[in-house]
Amino acid sequence: MARLTARARLTLLQTALVLTAGAALTGLTYLLMRRGTFVTRPNQNGAGPSGTPPPMPTAEDLQVLADRVQTDTLSALLPQAALALIVVTALAAVLGWLVADRVLRPIRVISSTARQLSAENLTERVPINTPADELSALAGTVNDMLDRIQRGVAERDRILDSQRLFTANAAHELRTPLTTTRTAIDVTLDGNPSRAELLTMVGDVRDAVEHMQCVLNGLLLLARSQAGLTAREQVDLAAIAAAALYTVQARATAADLTVRSELHPTPVTGEPILLERMIGNLVDNAIRYNRPGGHLAVATCPADGRAVLRISNTGRHISPGEAEKLLEPFAHGQGTRIRTEGLGLGLSIVRAVTLAHQGRITVDARTGGGLDITIDLPQNPVTKDARSQDTDSLQETAALP
């Protein structure tokens, strides 16, 4: 059995309400008139047919007259009230049908808009009519929901594209040394290789394996950074930065770099291993991509309840747009995959560690060349609730190309 439409149900409801109200009004009128008292007074000033005063009616005559009038009135009331009730009910049904159509029109528009939506078309919106009423509020709510869905789908597509690009880049980084290894083995074993050729092949294979190991270690550290903090201790960024500078002192001297440091005690609560790798990667990149005779400056200081780390270095000229893209995995120069001496994971690990500690990172291109990187972390302990809220932001980093 087919169910009635919302328009039909609203019409029936309004008609039933009018019918019920009309029947109640008719019944109440009938009861009031039935209980009423009718009094007939004689014509005191008039005269009879013969000019003599009419006789005074008795109480019994008055009662009989009142009963007859009441009976005649009630008898005439019921059919007329029934006819009026039928006419009013029919009119109420027609008006209810029209009113229900007008009331449900915005809902039909919302349904039509929803049917036109798809994953490829999320631009349709429900028109909001005046005056501002409940249906206008519903249309606004639906439009807000569609805006959120559209942003979510766009973000999902961006993350999926980033994941595909990240997977392709990681596969390329691992395939290259595998291809090198296979080529070295095939060329060497094609014939009767000498001991020197075998040793050369072993050296090539060893270099390829070391490269793959470095890539895998970087990927594992990146994944660990994105998974959040497993240990939280009170550490000093100044002490970690001093240790990192001491480790690269010989490299800086060999590259003719001037190292300046301004390290103020900067306590922060976090995971020491990740923080050490974060600062170590920054210092390593600052030396690796510097220029002869350039400089490296490292500074730490607390500010407004946050721990601030700043590292700046000279180097080649970098555009502002390229500086931001350097935070992406496997990005080298111009924001693209260009083989250099590095793996392209250093700054992406730095960003992942920063996000894991609820921090912020900014990368600015220096006017004379090089980068100026600033990281600020909260000095307060990272709570469990804060880590759970930070998981969503880390998912974005996990999908970076």
Note down pLDDT in tens along the chain; length 401 residues.
567 787 788 888 888 888 888 888 888 887 777 766 444 444 445 444 555 666 677 777 777 776 777 677 777 777 888 888 888 888 888 888 888 888 788 778 777 777 777 666 777 777 777 666 777 787 788 888 888 888 888 877 777 776 676 676 667 667 777 888 888 888 888 878 888 888 888 888 888 888 777 777 767 766 766 666 667 888 899 999 999 999 999 989 998 999 999 999 999 988 888 888 889 889 988 998 898 889 999 999 998 888 999 999 998 888 877 777 777 766 554 444 434 445 567 787 788 888 888 889 888 888 888 899 999 998 864 444 444 444 344 343 333 33
Q: Which two tokens stand for residue 301?
A: 């200081």
d(CA 258, CA 295): 4
The whole-number pLDDT of residue 56 equals 72
Q: Which amino acid is at 209?
A: V
d(CA 309, CA 117): 48
Q: In this structure, are strands 371-378 and 306-313 parallel, antiparallel, or unpaired? A: antiparallel
3-class SS of residue 269 = strand
Burial class (CB in 10 A: 0-12, 13-18, 19+), 50: exposed
The whole-number pLDDT of residue 172 equals 67
Cα of 251 vs its chain's centroid, Å: 46
- Asked whether 382 and 350 are in contact (CB, 8 A), the reply is no
Which residue in 349, 352, 358 sits closest to 268, CA to CA? 358
pLDDT in tens, 156-203: 777 777 667 667 666 766 777 788 888 888 888 887 888 888 888 888
Q: Which two tokens stand for residue 299?
A: 């500074």
The whole-number pLDDT of residue 384 equals 42
The whole-number pLDDT of residue 54 equals 63
A 10 A CB-CB count for 51 gives 6
The phi, psi pair for 5, rounded to 5°, reads -75, 165
The whole-number pLDDT of residue 327 equals 75
Give the sign of the dihedral formed by CA 82, CA 84, CA 89, CA 90: positive
d(CA 39, CA 20): 33
Residue matched to tokens 């039928």: 86
DSSP 96-113: HHHHHHHHHHHHHHHHHH
Per-residue DSSP letter, 118:
-
The pTM is what?
A: 0.52
Which residue in 350, 349, 313, 320 sits closest to 335, CA to CA? 320
Q: Which two tokens stand for residue 194?
A: 């000498």
The whole-number pLDDT of residue 273 equals 83
d(CA 372, CA 315): 11
